[in-house]
C-alpha cells in the first residue's frame, strides 16, 4: 500500500535526471573527440542513460495507467506542466548520444522526440494562452523547457539531413527564448523571489543561448557574429550564477537540483565547440574546468537522489 501511494506521487520532473545524464555523456563524447582522448567514457554513460530513461518512462506509464487523475493534476499545475516536455527532450538527447556510434538507431528517438516535442509545445502554449489561473509569480525558468527546448532538434537533425525541419524548430526556440527571458527577468526584478525549491531552475537560463549556439553553428556551418552573441551570453549567465554559489549551497535538496546539470552540460559542450573551431587555448581551459565541475555535480546529484529515494523524501505528497 505504501509503495502504491509513492507511485501516485512519482513526479514528472524526474525526467530532468535523464537530461543531466545525457548532457554529461555528450560533453564527455565531445571532449574525447576534441582532445583525442584514449578513453570512451560515453560508451558506459550512453547505455546507463538509456536504461534510466526506460526505467523512469516505465514507472510514469504505470502511474498514468493506475493514477490518471494524478497525471491530470500535474498537467494542470503551472510549474509541473512545463516538465512534461522533458520526456521528448530526453529522447532527442538520447539520439545525440547515439549519433556517432549508431547513427541509424539515433534517427528513431530523434524523429519521435522531435514530433512529440512539437506536440508538447503546441499543447503548453495553448494552456498558456487560454488559462484562467496563472499569475506572474508562477513563471520561472522551467517555463523555457516546453518552447525553448525546440533549439535542441538541430543538434542531431542536421546530421540526419533535415536542415529545413531543423531551422523550423530552431526558429521557434530562439524567438520564444527572447520573449520568455524578458518576462522572467521582469518577474525576478519586480515580484517576490523564487521559492527555495525553484531556485535551482535559475540554471536553466544558461541552456537556451548555449544550446542555441551549438545548433546555430551546425545550421550555419561556422561562427559568425550571432553565434558569438549566443555563446558569450551563455558564458556570462554561467559566471553570474557562479557568483551566487553561496546561495545555492544553503538550499535543501529537492529533485529540482537536477536543473543544475543539463545547463552546465550545454555550456561545457558549447565551450569545447568554441575551442574546436577557434583553437584558442583559453576555451580549452574553460572547457576542462566546466567538464570537471559537470562530472562532480552529476555524480553528487545522482548520489543525493538515491539517498532521497531511499529515505522516502521523494514520491511523497507535497505540503
CB of 152 closer than 8 Å to CB of 160: no
Q: Which helix H or strand E contains 89, and what residues bound it?
A: helix 85-97
What are the pLDDT digits (tens) for 79-128?
899 999 999 999 999 999 999 889 989 999 999 999 999 999 999 999 99
> Does a structural domain hold residue 317?
no
114-118, 302-306, 308-312: least confident range? 308-312
CATH of the domain at 66: 1.50.10.150
In a domain, 25, yes or no: yes
CA distance 60 to 71: 9
C-alpha to C-alpha distances, 244 to 129, 300, 319, nearest whole angstrom? 33, 19, 27
> Could you say which DSSP state residue 135 is in?
-
Range of the domain at 84: 2-310
* Nearest to 196, CA basis, from 234, 133, 249, 145: 249
Distance of alpha carbon 67 from alpha carbon 12, whole angstroms: 13
Q: Is the pLDDT of residue 31 over 50?
A: yes
Residue 318 in any domain: the answer is no
Within the chain, strands assigned E span none
**For the chain, what is the domain count?**
1
The predicted pLDDT at position 4 comes to 58
DSSP label at residue 244 = T
What does the pLDDT read at residue 3?
Answer: 54
pLDDT of residue 220: 95
Confidence band, pLDDT 50/70/90 cuts, at residue 228: very high
DSSP state letter for 195: P
Residue 315 domain-assigned? no
At 162 the pLDDT is 96
Q: Is the pLDDT reported for residue 131 higher than 90?
A: no
* Helices and strands of the chain, counted as H and E runs: 14, 0
Q: Give residue 255's pLDDT.
A: 86
Retrieve residue 311's grid coordinates: 529515505
Q: List all residues 6 or more positions away from 125 whose beta carbon is below 8 Å from its beta carbon.
A: 146, 147
Percent of the chain with pLDDT over 90: 78
- The answer to whether residue 278 scores a pLDDT higher than 90 is yes
| Average pLDDT of the segment spanning 216-224 | 96
Identify whether 46 is part of a domain: yes
Q: How confident is the model at residue 1 (pLDDT cuts 50, 70, 90)?
A: very low
Cell numbers describing residue 236:
556570462
pLDDT in tens, 170-199: 999 999 999 999 999 999 999 988 888 889
Task: Round the average pLDDT of the chain to a whole number and report it.
Answer: 93
Q: How far apart, in Å, are the Cα atoms of 281 and each of 242, 267, 271, 278?
A: 22, 17, 11, 9
User: pLDDT grade, residue 2 (50/70/90)?
Assistant: low
**Chain centroid to CA 56: how far?**
16
All three cell numbers of 20: 543531466
Q: Is residue 316 part of a domain?
A: no
Query: Which phi-psi region, left, alpha or beta, contains residue 48 (left: φ > 0; alpha: ψ -120 to 50)?
Result: alpha
- Percent of the chain exceeding pLDDT 70 equals 98
Report the b/e string of 195-224 with b at 16+ CB within 10 A: eebbbbbbbbbbbbbbbbbbbbbbbeeebe
Amino acid at each position: 500500500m505504501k509503495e502504491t501511494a509513492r507511485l501516485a506521487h512519482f513526479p514528472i520532473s524526474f525526467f530532468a535526471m535523464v537530461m543531466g545524464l545525457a548532457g554529461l555523456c555528450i560533453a564527455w563524447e565531445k571532449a574525447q573527440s576534441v582532445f583525442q582522448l584514449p578513453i570512451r567514457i560515453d560508451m558506459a554513460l550512453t547505455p546507463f542513460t538509456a536504461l534510466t530513461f526506460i526505467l523512469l518512462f516505465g514507472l510514469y506509464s504505470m502511474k498514468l495507467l493506475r493514477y490518471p487523475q494524478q497525471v491530470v493534476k500535474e498537467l494542470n499545475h503551472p510549474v509541473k506542466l512545463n516538465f512534461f516536455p522533458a520526456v521528448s527532450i530526453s529522447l532527442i538527447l538520447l539520439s545525440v548520444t547515439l549519433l556517432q556510434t549508431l547513427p541509424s538507431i539515433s534517427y528513431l528517438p530523434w524523429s519521435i522526440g522531435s514530433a512529440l516535442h512539437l506536440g508538447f509545445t503546441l499543447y503548453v502554449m495553448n494552456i498558456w494562452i487560454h488559462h484562467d489561473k496563472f499569475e506572474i509569480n508562477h513563471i520561472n525558468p522551467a517555463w523555457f523547457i516546453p518552447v525553448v527546448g525546440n533549439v535542441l532538434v538541430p543538434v542531431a537533425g542536421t546530421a540526419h539531413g533535415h536542415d529545413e525541419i531543423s531551422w523550423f524548430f530552431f526558429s521557434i526556440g530562439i524567438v520564444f527564448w527572447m520573449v520568455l527571458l524578458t518576462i522572467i527577468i521582469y518577474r525576478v526584478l519586480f515580484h517576490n523571489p523564487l521559492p527555495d525549491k525553484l531556485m535551482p531552475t535559475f540554471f536553466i537560463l544558461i541552456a537556451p543561448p548555449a544550446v542555441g549556439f551549438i545548433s546555430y553553428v551546425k545550421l550555419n556551418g561556422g561562427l559568425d557574429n550571432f553565434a558569438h552573441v549566443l555563446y558569450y551570453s551563455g558564458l556570462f549567465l554561467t559566471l553570474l550564477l557562479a557568483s551566487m554559489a553561496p546561495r545555492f549551497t544553503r538550499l535543501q535538496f529537492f529533485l529540482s537540483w537536477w536543473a543544475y546539470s543539463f545547463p552546465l552540460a550545454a555550456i561545457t559542450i558549447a565551450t569545447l565547440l568554441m575551442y574546436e573551431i577557434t583553437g584558442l587555448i583559453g576555451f580549452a581551459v574553460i572547457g576542462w574546468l566546466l567538464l570537471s565541475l559537470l562530472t562532480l555535480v552529476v555524480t553528487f546529484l545522482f548520489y543525493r537522489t538515491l539517498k532521497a529515494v531511499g529515505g522516502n523524501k521523494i514520491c511523497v505528497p507535497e505540503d
